[in-house]
Amino acid sequence: MGMTMTQKILAEHAGMESVSAGQLISADLDMVLANDITGPVSIKEFDKAGFGEVFDKSKISLVMDHFVPNKDIKSAEQCKTCRMFARRFDIDNYYDVGEMGIEHALLPEKGLVAAGDAIIGADSHTCTYGALGAFSTGVGSTDLAAGIATGRAWFKVPAAIKFELTGKPAKYVGGKDIILHIIGMIGVDGALYKSMEFCGDGIQYLTMDDRLTISNMAIEAGGKNGIFPVDEITKQYMAERVGRPYKIFAADSDAEYDEEYRIDLAGIEPTVSYPHLPENTKTISAAEKDDIKIDQAVIGSCTNGRISDMAAAAEIFKGKHVCGGVRCIIIPATQSIYKECIKRGYIDTFIDAGCVVSTPTCGPCLGGYMGILAAGERCISTTNRNFVGRMGDTSSEVYLASPYVAAASALAGRICGPEEI
């Protein structure tokens, strides 16, 4: 029996000719990632275990992104712990104030992850890098500590689900709408501990930003990872960023999948996820009928804080103003994206429209800071989770959507699509 993309990558990194679903393996790692929340826990476990050195200082990334610039004393201490660890072992890829970005946007931008890599991170959205044809997944802080020290990790080889994407998406439909549609279709546990493998002629119409968004939210369907085949769009993206050799893997024609879905991208509408699970989706045409008033809009995060997302928001906001009573927060995902927004005039557009623009940070996505919700407030957000209390008070509500829909809703003061503006 043939292997899926994920299984081929894991076999290569385990030094084996083949692996099969359910098999336990120990695999070499190409990148180990932690942030200012998970890093201190991993560092504590690293020291507790008595490790005296890291496996490769060039293959460890510490990104201060959740509470940076620090919002309080505790967050300052967490970053200090990571900072001192980075100095102790001369970690090459340490990113702090002024150089940081949201980790899952920053690593691809910096060329630190590439096709064929095996990557772990103590953050569930580490699955983002599957957009580049890599195996990447989130792990616990203890597993990460072991990875930092040894450069290896244990995995149970995942079974896979095949998603064949066909057709061309309509205007205003992007990666966020596609993955919300899929999660709405299969549920938040529909791909539990499985590899979500995407293929089909529709992929040619998806930008790298679309693919990064889709892979990022594989975990919201319970997936172990999400992964895309490497095509010319992927190669061009890496050619501009990755300065080392990489290896391309492709699924065998006789690879085994637990389930297979065929999805016509042309039939997908802009999609909104209602509280309090990502699977609770409605099309924008259905959502508009509900006449849902909002108090806040957030456009950013590791899911939708890239330059194409900023461009989408700027297109909607140009020459218009946010509805009275609505707070709109724009968060470019990295310093480079922030600079590009300045060059293109997007920052002027955002400020003129009545938005506030933040330094790169995860901020309100996890209820951190820069946009916490009060009791009973509603927010439309381009982030990836809308659990109870995710962005503030437990009685607040978060609706997930694309930058187009979030920006249009900020202008209207209620959830609506861009064609309504």
User: Which two three-digit tokens encode residue 333?
Assistant: 């995902």
Q: How many CA atoms lie within 13 A of 290 on its CB side?
A: 18
Residue 299 in this model has a pLDDT that exceeds 90: yes
Residue 421's pLDDT band, with cuts at 50, 70 and 90, is confident
Residue whose tokens read 């895309």: 228
Which uninterrupted H or E stretch holds 387?
none
pLDDT tens column, 144-168: 999 999 999 999 999 999 999 999 9
For residue 216, give the nearest of 272, 178, 248, 161 by alpha carbon.
178
Residue 284's pLDDT band (cuts 50, 70, 90): very high
Which whole number is the average pLDDT over 292-301?
98
Pick the closest to residue 354 from 418, 411, 292, 298 (CA basis): 411
CATH superfamily of 271-420: Aconitase, domain 3 (3.30.499.10)
287 pLDDT higher than 80:
yes
**How does residue 420 score in pLDDT terms, banded at 50, 70 and 90?**
confident
Check whether 419 has a pLDDT greater than 90.
no
Q: What is the mean pLDDT of residues 249-277?
A: 96
- Identity of the residue numbered 360: P
- Per-residue pLDDT band for 305 (boundaries 50, 70, 90) equals very high
For residue 1, name the pLDDT band (cuts at 50, 70, 90): confident
Please give the radius of gyration of the chain, using alpha carbons only, rounded to the nearest integer.
20
Q: Are 177 and 303 in contact (CB under 8 A)?
A: no
Where do you find CATH 3.30.499.10 in the chain?
A: 5-265, 271-420
For residues 418 and 172, is the Cβ–Cβ distance under 8 A?
Answer: yes
322-347 per-position pLDDT tens digit: 999 999 999 999 999 999 999 999 99
**Average pLDDT rounded to a whole number, residues 94-98:** 95
Q: Is the pLDDT of residue 225 over 90?
A: yes
**162-182 tens-digit pLDDT:** 999 999 999 999 999 999 999
For domain 5-265, the CATH superfamily is Aconitase, domain 3 (3.30.499.10)
